[in-house]
Structure 1
Amino acid sequence: MTHPSISTDSSTPTGRVREAFARIHECGRQEVWITLRSESDAVADAVAVERRLAAGEELPLAGTVFAVKDNIDVVGLPTTAACPEFAYVPQVSSPAVTRLQAAGAVVLGKTNLDQFATGLVGTRSPYGVVRSATHPDRVSGGSSSGSGAAVGLGLVDFALGTDTAGSGRVPAAFNGVVGIKPTLGLVPTRGVVPACADFDCVTVLAPTVGLAGRAMSIMIGPDADDPRSRVRPSDVPLSAPTRARVGVPVDGQLETLSDSYRRSFAAAVERAAEADMEVVRVDIAPLLDAATLLYDGALVAERFDAVGRFVVSHPDAALDPTVASIVRASESKPAHEFVRDMGTLAAAKHHAERLFADLDVLLLPTTTEHPLIADVLAEPVEINRRLGTFTNFCNLLDLASVAVPTPGEPGESFGVMTVAPAFGDQVALDVAARIQGVETADLAPEEGIGLAVFGAHLRGQPLHHQLEALGARFERPVATTADYLMVRLDSVPPKPGLVHVPDGSGRSLPGELYRISAAGLGAFLAALPAPMALTSMTLAGGTVAVGFTCTPAAAAAGVDITEFGGWRAFLGGVPA
């Protein structure tokens, strides 16, 4: 019987929890979960969220429920990493979980995974093989198998995964959802059972770019207790340019794709071009070579450092034989080979830097094929190896990536991913959204400095490219308060200057508001030609932003065009 004080309206947090549990029971996909919370405990959390809302708190994730991959700590719930004998009950949650709960989201449980986050298939777990949400005869992808399936099946609103070799992106492709793999260190990894500690990151999987981005924006932020935590730099790009330059591999580097995936990727590239992106063919051979180091080189020694002592000392544990063999073999890798592989990575990073000097993102197939479960069970190593062809190198080379589903052929799921340099997370997300033809999300809504423009830097005007080159993000149309004049300056290209006139002789003038990084604004100011200047100005509604003005001498020599009501109106020749 439902307690009378508990809402069953699915638009409320408690109602959403009850709706989610009904869907979980109806679906009957037990292999998705390792630990499912009791409905009453989850409802109690939702009641607490409703009380916080009633007290006036702003909770951007209120009314959402999420799942957590079972190598990420949630206080009071066992962390198993898909090995029962490894289990422990943490006293504190991972910061990623804590931040999401603080924003109003409710945890429903812990999801299945390839044991010790070692695999891209979703079959390497004593808790069962996780089937694809969309094609249950095929694998769900790993290692974040349960998280990908939970989102794809609609059991939760979003889920947390981890990604070392592609574990947050391959399951996204195989379950028809979005997967965001952030720059290393942007989301703290404290409270995460390591796979390869230097190359691990926490990911989010969600049905839409918007929700995935919103959840990721809440998790991003430094953690004083995490030695690998990082802060976004002062020159971080806050937006992709309007016409992004997108690199795709030359044809010979797509040979590992199945025939159907090759056709699906070609169609995705066509959609990118139709979305007004500039598509160029590039050589990614050094990146593909670096990808092999994660398992075939000495870098795999990080896996022994993570869980090797447990694996060796617990021969009778419920260890997946493929995972155990990988971990045991990693113990014998000599230090000089590790050093050699680090040198190879340095060369590959240098190649990537040169690539991205001329590109905004790489556009790649997320993986190579969508294999049947039976085929993976018959050949557990080679298929898994192929699946990581395009994902393995991203964390090794400190790149950001976003995986999105795109149309595939009947009977299988397909997806592509955008890849950007470290801290290019917003650029990767923006381009991925355009490929899907959907609205993007803002990963740093509170970051950057407001910059108002009123003339040659407006969209469609000759100097707008300067803002795009600095990664400035369009916020909204704006107008000044009603105490500004606009004068046409004698400049090339033509541009206006705004002059503040507190005597009441001015008017409100339209413009556009952007957010730009601190370093970007500094570069913008350093390149600003005379007689232009930047100053603080008040916009209609009370917002204060940096905006354009000009020297008094230039204003006196200019032509007053205030009567036109704005720069675009002046160019059109019609006074307002």
Structure 2
Amino acid sequence: MTLDMGFDALKNAYANTELTPEQVMADIRQRANSYSDYNIWLHLLSKAEQAPWLDALAQKDPATHPLWGIPFAIKDNIDLAGIPTTAGCEAFAYTPEASAQVVQQLIDAGAIPVGKTALDQFATGLNGTRSTIGPCHNAFNPGYISGGSSSGSAVALALGLCSFSLGTDTAGSGRVPACFNNLIGLKPSRGLLSASGLVPACRSLDCISIFAFNTDDANQALAAAEGFDPSDDYSSANPFGNQARHYGKRAGPLTIGIIPQSQLQFFGDDDYQQAYAETLEALASEGVNLVEIDYAPFAEAAKLLYEGPWVAERYLATQPLIDDNPEAIFPVVREIIAPGGAPRATDLFTAEYRLNGLKRACQAQIASVDCLLTPTAGRLFTIEEMLDKPIKRNSELGYYTNFMNLADLASIAVPTQFTPAGLPFGITLVGQAFSDRALLSIANHIQALFPLNKGTLPYPTKPSNTAPTANPNTIDVLVCGAHLQGLPLNWQLTERGATLKAKTQTAPHYRMFALAGGPPFRPGLIVDKDKGAAIEVEVWTMPIQEFGSFVAGIPAPLGIGKVELENGESVCGFICEGYGIEGAQEVTHFGGWRGYLAAQNKS
């Protein structure tokens, strides 16, 4: 019987001595032979090649190595020490002495490489047919494309030949294959994962991506793989709000942006169109608020990736091969890359100017919702259809994906449906840069609503659907006096990007006093469960990076503490030190600061 290759299943089997990593790897190698005609592997590691990593597990404690014995596949444009990297082109091949930083960190966490997987040559394509060993076949129906360029990595996971896998994603290569093979496909924020040891496609845009069966596994793999790399000029430190500890089901009702019907494209695939509609219906029935956004700036940005000067980056990545030995490059790939030597610097700046405006329009719309939701792809083509019109249909595959890195966004592909023909369909969630854990948390919730199996395996995904957590990128602040909307200090909130969340009252055990000093005049709020009352307040949501400067400007005797609302929730809010109310006038009976000011104006 096929093994359950999910993280928890393997960890439990190891802990109960039902399996050893050596047995798992031997089973993978045996089963891989039965899928040889799927064109998954460019280099499947032998027992001898794998031995050093398996032997090293004896010195690693599973309790401190979160990926102990977990097998993973590596797209063959990412370095694994001592194993050739080809990027799908033998004439380009080299053997690295060191692994890519991401690969090494995964190994350090206890993960075991299985092999190097097939790809659209030089990661140029979204379909999986641009390989010298032949098309990589879909895990569910070999007559259909696998998606690309991370084709082998997706199919290997879907067939249970690893527990997670690494792809790359410049234009959608880590999401389209996830959709077509019933997988989670995480395209991290640019710079979150080091690109050291990655053969570039477009160096300024490239991301190493992660395929997993569920969001729990994706989060664990991401936690082991992420980390600032000073040798990578595009690497970025992960902010506090995007750390692994913030993964969990999003709190409160979700508001998700969707594309208007007039801007959707399914390219003749009625089954995919119906699967998308059913996905939205299911989300709406679960209380998700779906609001339309304008997809035009996203679609225009997507066109720039291949129709603009960024193709010059692909040209640079393949030099000197494209100049000295162009016949070594797969014909369709060569046709795409060769014009990259022609764009002028003026073309680049013209495109950059336009892109900057498009990015602003895209990011402004995403900022207004918890995330954007799109179909991951509009159509799943047969291999025959793809080979008939390789460039046109590849462009159609990128309609919902090509804009992502140009607009500096994070995204995750989530499977939701199967068509009547038994083919997988999925959606993609899109968020601001470094919203990866927030997206994973929303994806966790959505995956729980659409219970599917792990790839082609007969085991349910079973995401944890963890306890609710607040959005780690913002903080709610309760105000009760001069910071109320329309009052003299409200600018201290609005100029920090804070937005009004609620007008409400405190729990009925607070007293309010008009403090000495001013203008502006301020109240002091203190707890008194015996003589207190409910006080009118406002709750504002503030970007967390602005909170420190806001608190630093609060004068004594005021400060920030926890204030209880009428619904029992506690939020950060203004409180007053006890000494501050000595000699102050009590104004509790006015019900709030506005009531007190109104009474003063009448007198």
Whether TM exceeds 0.5 here: the answer is yes
Identity %: 36
> How much does 1:52 deviate?
1.4
Match of 1:274 in 2: 285
Is 2:92 the counterpart of 1:86?
Answer: yes
Match of 1:260 in 2: 271
State how many pairs are aligned.
Answer: 495
The letter of the residue matching 2:39 is: E
Match of 2:596 in 1: none
1:343-382 counterparts in 2 under 5 A? Answer: 343-382=353-392
The letter of the residue matching 2:310 is: L
Q: Is the 8 A contact 2:509 2:528 kept in 1?
A: no
Query: Out of 326, 341, 358, which is 2:351 matched to?
Result: 341
- Distance, in Å, in 1 between the alignment partners of 2:187 and 2:278 is 24
> How much does 1:496 deviate?
9.0
Q: Is the 8 A contact 1:308 1:331 kept in 2?
A: no
SS at match of 1:77: coil
Q: Is the 8 A contact 1:131 1:137 kept in 2?
A: yes
Moved more, 153-162 or 260-269: 260-269
Query: Out of 506, 511, 514, which is 1:490 matched to?
Result: 511
Is 2:153 the counterpart of 1:147?
Answer: yes
Moved more, 121-130 or 425-434: 425-434
> How much does 1:448 deviate?
7.9
Match of 2:307 in 1: 296
SS at match of 1:324: helix
Match of 2:260 in 1: 250
Q: Is the 8 A contact 1:7 1:15 kept in 2?
A: no
Q: Is the 8 A contact 1:293 1:299 kept in 2?
A: yes
The letter of the residue matching 1:262 is: Q
Q: Is the 8 A contact 1:498 1:550 kept in 2?
A: no
Q: C-alpha offsets along residues 401-423 of structure 1, whole Å, 9 cap, x if unaligned?
A: 00011103122221100000111
1:29-68 counterparts in 2 under 5 A? Answer: 29=37, 31-53=39-61, 58-68=64-74
Cα pair distance change 1:105/1:172, threshold 3 Å: same
Match of 1:71 in 2: 77
RMSD of aligned residue pairs (Cα, Å):
3.8
Unaligned runs of at least 5 residues, structure 2: 1-13, 449-462, 478-492, 500-506, 514-524, 530-541, 563-571, 585-603
Is 2:331 the counterpart of 1:332?
Answer: no
> How much does 1:353 deviate?
2.4
The letter of the residue matching 2:548 is: G
SS at match of 2:412: strand
- Distance, in Å, in 1 between the alignment partners of 2:295 and 2:251 is 23
Q: Is the 8 A contact 1:133 1:149 kept in 2?
A: yes
Q: Is the 8 A contact 2:241 2:472 kept in 1?
A: no
Moved more, 326-335 or 203-212: 326-335
Cα pair distance change 1:433/1:236, threshold 3 Å: closer
1:20-31 counterparts in 2 under 5 A? Answer: 20-29=28-37, 31=39
Query: Out of 164, 175, 178, which is 1:172 matched to?
Result: 178
> How much does 1:26 deviate?
4.1
Query: Out of 445, 453, 457, which is 1:434 matched to?
Result: 445
The letter of the residue matching 1:214 is: Q
Match of 2:409 in 1: 399
Q: C-alpha offsets along residues 121-140 of structure 1, whole Å, 9 cap, x if unaligned?
A: 00000022101111211000
Q: C-alpha offsets along residues 67-105 of structure 1, whole Å, 9 cap, x if unaligned?
A: 000000111010000001110001111111011011100
- Distance, in Å, in 2 between the alignment partners of 1:7 and 1:408 is 34
Match of 2:4 in 1: none
Cα pair distance change 1:44/1:260, threshold 3 Å: same
Query: Out of 100, 106, 114, which is 1:108 matched to?
Result: 114
> How much does 1:28 deviate?
3.7
Cα pair distance change 1:235/1:491, threshold 3 Å: farther
- Distance, in Å, in 1 between the alignment partners of 2:332 and 2:202 is 17
Moved more, 136-145 or 345-354: 345-354
TM norm structure 1: 0.77
TM norm structure 2: 0.74
Q: Is the 8 A contact 2:157 2:164 kept in 1?
A: yes
1:195-274 counterparts in 2 under 5 A? Answer: 195-233=201-239, 238=246, 240-257=250-267, 258-274=269-285
Is 2:418 the counterpart of 1:408?
Answer: yes
Cα pair distance change 1:372/1:497, threshold 3 Å: farther
Cα pair distance change 1:523/1:368, threshold 3 Å: farther
- Distance, in Å, in 2 between the alignment partners of 1:530 and 1:418 is 44
In our comparison, the structure showing a higher alpha carbon Rg is 2
- Distance, in Å, in 2 between the alignment partners of 1:160 and 1:332 is 32
The letter of the residue matching 2:61 is: L
Q: C-alpha offsets along residues 373-424 of structure 1, whole Å, 9 cap, x if unaligned?
A: 1111121111111000010000010000000111031222211000001111
Q: Is the 8 A contact 1:448 1:517 kept in 2?
A: no
- Distance, in Å, in 1 between the alignment partners of 2:354 and 2:161 is 42
Q: Is the 8 A contact 1:147 1:160 kept in 2?
A: yes
The letter of the residue matching 2:577 is: T
Q: Is the 8 A contact 1:118 1:323 kept in 2?
A: yes
Cα pair distance change 1:64/1:236, threshold 3 Å: closer
Q: C-alpha offsets along residues 454-474 of structure 1, whole Å, 9 cap, x if unaligned?
A: xxxxxxxxxxxx9xx999xxx
> How much does 1:270 deviate?
1.8
SS at match of 1:396: coil
SS at match of 1:159: strand
SS at match of 2:405: helix
SS at match of 2:464: coil
Cα pair distance change 1:12/1:487, threshold 3 Å: farther
The letter of the residue matching 1:79 is: T
- Distance, in Å, in 1 between the alignment partners of 2:85 and 2:241 is 38
Q: Is the 8 A contact 1:16 1:64 kept in 2?
A: no
Q: Is the 8 A contact 2:271 2:420 kept in 1?
A: no
Q: Is the 8 A contact 1:273 1:279 kept in 2?
A: yes
Match of 2:548 in 1: 522
Cα pair distance change 1:435/1:530, threshold 3 Å: farther
The letter of the residue matching 1:407 is: Q
SS at match of 1:197: coil
> How much does 1:25 deviate?
3.1
Is 2:26 the counterpart of 1:18?
Answer: yes
- Distance, in Å, in 1 between the alignment partners of 2:336 and 2:154 is 24
SS at match of 2:274: helix
Q: Is the 8 A contact 1:11 1:63 kept in 2?
A: no
Is 2:296 the counterpart of 1:285?
Answer: yes
